[in-house]
Amino acid sequence: MSGEAPCCFSVTASSPHVLHNLLNKLTQLERYEEGLAKAPAPPPVDFISQPVDITEVCTSPLVMAQQLTHVELEKLSYIGPEEFVQAFAKDNLDACYKDLKKTSNLECYIQWFNRLSYLVATHACMLERRTG
């Protein structure tokens, strides 16, 4: 035996794999954030004069729900724990404003969620009018 613990060998053996996965994740995150920066601002909520019927876009509610779930999980996967800490840490407001870091992924998710909520509420109201 060389005196090295077996666990140290397994850690050094898996290091390249971990580093490769980390690099891939960081590259993916960087591309996503660049895409967010280049994307135009979403239109205001009241931009629709004639709401679109969701059933014309996707006839199956199950497929629509699955697709929205996939979009939500993708958007959530880009939010890092540091964004939540930054957004919710209110211990020292002065230090918080001086050391403000971007929480663009969290903000993007919140905007998307608000637009989705508005869409669902609008569609629910349209259905209520039809049946009423």
- Chain centroid to Cα 13, Å, comes to 33
Q: Give the Cβ contact number of residue 105 at 10 Å.
A: 19
Better pLDDT: 102 or 131: 102
Better pLDDT: 18 or 131: 18
Residue 65: per-residue pLDDT: 86
Are residue 26 and residue 54 in the same domain, yes or no? no
The count of structural domains within the chain is 2
Q: What range defines the domain where residue 127 resides? A: 47-131
Q: Report the predicted TM-score, pTM, of the whole model to 2 decimal places.
A: 0.60
Mean of the per-residue pLDDT values of the chain: 76
Are residue 59 and residue 109 in the same domain, yes or no? yes
Are residue 17 and residue 63 in the same domain, yes or no? no
Residue 43: per-residue pLDDT: 62
Q: How confident is the model at residue 6 (pLDDT cuts 50, 70, 90)?
A: low
20-69: pLDDT as tens digits: 888 888 888 888 888 877 877 766 655 555 666 777 777 888 888 888 88
Are residue 11 and residue 57 in the same domain, yes or no? no
Q: Give the Cβ contact number of residue 109 at 10 Å.
A: 17
Are residue 53 and residue 3 in the same domain, yes or no? no
Are residue 57 and residue 12 in the same domain, yes or no? no
Are residue 99 and residue 74 in the same domain, yes or no? yes
Are residue 51 and residue 11 in the same domain, yes or no? no
